[in-house]
Amino acid sequence: MRRGFCLIIISILTSCSRSDESKLVGTWTIPIGNAKTYTTYKADHTCVMTTEGYGEPITMTGPWHIEGPDIVVGAKEPKIRDRIVKLTDTELAIFDSTQNQTFTYRRVK
């Protein structure tokens, strides 16, 4: 009985994570001063981040995944780890503990 209950809980937690991952797939943007950053999370768990507005665009790429309530980006330490505060079809709010601030992205596509 206890084992069955644990399997149900694990199944629920796993399905929540997959749901969040599928909601993240797409392109998100956030204005930063006179610039904009675009982040595209792909279904193959790679992402592309591009900042435009400071001369030549700056682009970074890397893997991403969900760990509990966090989104983790990068293959090597230090990885970017931000807490997902809100995730809907049109809005992604993450808390950046290094800046003690929540940032809200809007879905582009």
Residue by residue, pLDDT tens for the chain (109 residues) are 444 333 333 333 333 445 778 999 999 999 988 899 999 999 999 999 999 998 899 999 999 999 999 999 998 888 899 999 999 999 999 999 999 999 999 999 7
Break the chain into its structural domains and give their ranges: 2-107
Residues 79, 72: contact at Cβ < 8 Å? Answer: yes
pLDDT reported for residue 18: 55
Whole-model pTM: value is 0.77
Give the chain's radius of gyration (CA, Å). 16
Cα dist. 71→7, 45, 64, 66, 83 in Å?
A: 24, 11, 7, 5, 6
> Is CATH 3.90.550.10 correct for 2-107?
no
The tens digit of pLDDT for each residue in 27-54 reads 999 998 889 999 999 999 999 999 999 8
